[in-house]
Amino acid sequence: MKKFCLLFCMLFLTAASFGQNLCQVAEQWPLQQLETELQRGMKVFKKQKPAVYYLSYTYTEQEEKSLAVAESGVLRQSDQNRAYLGVMARAGSPRLDNTRELKSGGSSYYMPTVGVPFFPNKDGKAFRTFVWRLTQDAVDGAQKGFTRAQADSLTSSDRSDPSDDFVFPPKEQYCREEAFPPFDLEKIKALLLKASSLAQGEKFILDSNFSFSTRMGYRYFVDSVGSRIKTPFVYARMGYMVTGQTADGSRLTRSEYYDVLNEKELPNEEKFLADVKRSIAELNTLYTAPEAEPMTAPAILKNRAMAVFVHEVLGHRVEGHRQKDDAFGKTFTEKVGKPVVSPILSIVDDPTLAYFDGIPLRGFYEYDDEGVKSRPVTIIENGVLKNFLMSSSPIEGFPLSNGHGRAALGSRPVSRMGNTRVIASETVPYQKLEQMLLDEIKRQGKPYGFIIEDLSGGFTQTSTYAPQAFKLEPTMVYRIYPDGRKEAVRGADMVGTPLVSFNKVLAAADDYAVFNGSCGAESGWVPVSGIAPSVLLEALEIEKTEKSGDKPPLLPPPYDAKKGGSK
């Protein structure tokens, strides 16, 4: 236990580290304007039939830069400053409002959002005209949505969870500013161009892409409860992808992405180029690798693959709003207080973490998209389900938000993950884990086991209509034979069901690592992170992946003439 505490003290840098740049809410011009329009509107809206009982504004100012290169040339480069306004209106009452999941179908997660101009001259009247106009649409949509929800509630079967549609978030006042880090785009471009030339001249590479992007700015939030919030955000990502295709249609991909908060955190040239070379070599290995055969065998899920596995297979199933929607499978709804995964695992979703072991986490945020302060939530403790991730849509036994209401621009927030970390109570060095895998292969009498090195993503079925199963797409898989020999295989998908799969975790390594990515769900794409150690699974089911029906190009890439080319 001592070791466990020490580990976390050393590795995590929380939001408290950013606390020194606090500002005054009352001095923020956008917050003032939004508040003025909100108060003016609510006086009228709350008297309407149906009444609009809650209103919030999210105003985002951001600068986006992106750069993509391939084949030693720039293919895309842009630099845009944009401001967006989103309006969330709730009509009816917290008991029943326009956000109710309709049993008759056709629920909408759209939140009225428009691009708005900047007003450097602080022309409040003009700015508020945009706010007023969009509010009109939002209120109109909310009232129509409420009427639909009301009709649906009269004609549909009883809900298994009769909880309200909304719980008012607490009133918050918070303002923080940040000096946004500069990035030397020309230097980064030169590095990407250099890296892109490494992918040329290889017959097994069909396409390649090397990219860098940043998105940084401020998010302002105002609601009718009285919350006034300004928070900064910074996302910067550099990475690459190389793809290929075998003659029989297997699609092959190797990629690497580096998420940073400033330029110093980017990999240096030597490391970046070495990683690119490694990925190209791996793609070549896959190109000539045998195709995987359907098989159930013991396996190691390497740390980052495990992070994706937990996100897809477990994380989405503990999102609160799914527990009250009868269209969802509710794998874990009735399992609070009961063991659901191997007892060696605990899982916490902690959006307050900005870094893990020096690596920035994309799932960091201070307030969620409903104005609720973020906090760590223990989902599973020693294998036992403790909590769900909650937005402001309450469920039985969980009446309040725990700061996980998230959405992309243009979508209504629902409960989502932030930084999902897996903690193992007992760990071994990775080499020991591999030895344990070999022992398990022999014990089970299997011809080989698997090491899942990398996962690109996948999907999980949570609807009652479909089997409650998952299918994940590993991009780098090795067979490991009882004598320790490893062999790359291609075309393998991981399949299974959540309750069975998580109970088969036998051991974990001490090699925690971060997977940074973007998660797509009802409320759009949001940045997330997963932190996990490598784990040993007693059994993992592998099946063949879908292949492309397209023929690979008849001619080799044009580089055979590279040396003699005219330019």
Partner 1 sequence: MKKICLFLCLLTAAVSGWSASVPDNMYFHAMKDEMKRSLKKLRMKDNPKPYYIAYKLKNSYSQVWSANLGGEYAASSSAPNLEISAVLAVGSAKEDNLGFEGDRFYYQPSQMGYIPQSYWGIRHALWQMSNQEFLAAVDSYKKKQTYKEQKQIKQDYPDFASAKQATFVEEIPAFAKLPDEPLQAMVTRLSAKGKGVDYLNRFGVNIVNEQADEYYLNSDGGLYQLCRKNMYVGFSAEFYNQAGYLSQFSKVYPLPAGVVPNEQELSQQADEVLRELDQMYRAKKVEQPYLGPVLLTPRAAVSFLEDLFVADMNHVTPLLQITGAEDPTAGAFRNKEGMRVMSNVVEAYDKPLEREYRGITLQGFMPVDDEGVRPQELKLVSSGRLLNLPLSRRAGKKNLPSNGHARMGDKTYPREALSNVFITAKNPLSQEELEAKLLARCRELELEYGYILHEFQPGQKVLQAERIYTADGRREPVFFFEPVGLNARALRDILAAGADDKMYALMDVYGRKYSLVAPSLLVDETELTVREQTPDRKPLIAKP
Cβ of residue 73: shortest distance to partner 1, in angstroms? 3
Tell me: does residue 432 bind partner 1 (CB under 8 A). no
Q: Which is nearer to partner 1, 127 or 272 (CB)?
A: 127
Burial 468-497 (b: 16+ CB within 10 A, else e): bbbbbbbbbbbbbeeeeeeebbbbbbbbbb
Tell me: does residue 397 bind partner 1 (CB under 8 A). no
Residues of span 354-373 touching partner 1 by CB under 8 A: none
Tell me: does residue 37 bind partner 1 (CB under 8 A). yes
- What is the Cα–Cα distance from 145 to 111, expressed in whole angstroms? 12
Tell me: does residue 151 bind partner 1 (CB under 8 A). no
Determine the size of the site formed for partner 1 (CB under 8 A): 56
5, 179, 247, 555: residue in contact with partner 1 (rule CB under 8 A): 555
Cβ of residue 556: shortest distance to partner 1, in angstroms? 9
Tell me: does residue 218 bind partner 1 (CB under 8 A). no
Q: Which is nearer to partner 1, 41 or 405 (CB)?
A: 41
Residue type, 77: Q
Tell me: does residue 140 bind partner 1 (CB under 8 A). yes
| Cβ atoms 117, 185 nearer than 8 A | no
Find the part of the chain contacting partner 1 (CB under 8 A) among 74-82, 175-183, 315-323, 351-359: 74-82
6, 22, 26, 126: residue in contact with partner 1 (rule CB under 8 A): 126
Cβ of residue 413: shortest distance to partner 1, in angstroms? 24
Which residue, chain included where needed, has tokens 């009882």?
A: 482
139, 175, 318, 379: residue in contact with partner 1 (rule CB under 8 A): 139
Q: Which is nearer to partner 1, 118 or 459 (CB)?
A: 118
Find the part of the chain contacting partner 1 (CB under 8 A) among 38-46, 307-315, 452-460, 511-519: 38-46
DSSP β-ladder status, 73-91 and 52-70: antiparallel
Structure tokens at 208: 């390649």
| Cβ atoms 473, 455 nearer than 8 A | yes
The string of DSSP letters for 323-369 reads HH-TTB--SSTT-TTSB-S-TTEEEEE-TTEEEETTEE-TT--SB-T
- What is the Cα–Cα distance from 350 to 384, expressed in whole angstroms? 18
- What is the Cα–Cα distance from 378 to 388, expressed in whole angstroms? 8
Tell me: does residue 78 bind partner 1 (CB under 8 A). yes
Cβ of residue 540: shortest distance to partner 1, in angstroms? 36
| Cβ atoms 358, 495 nearer than 8 A | no
Positive or negative torsion for Cα 419, 412, 367, 133: positive
Which residue, chain included where needed, has tokens 């639909």?
A: 148
Q: Footprint of partner 1 on this chain (CB under 8 A)?
A: 37, 40-41, 44-45, 48, 68-82, 115-121, 123-133, 136, 139-140, 196, 200, 551, 553-555, 557-559, 561-562, 565-567
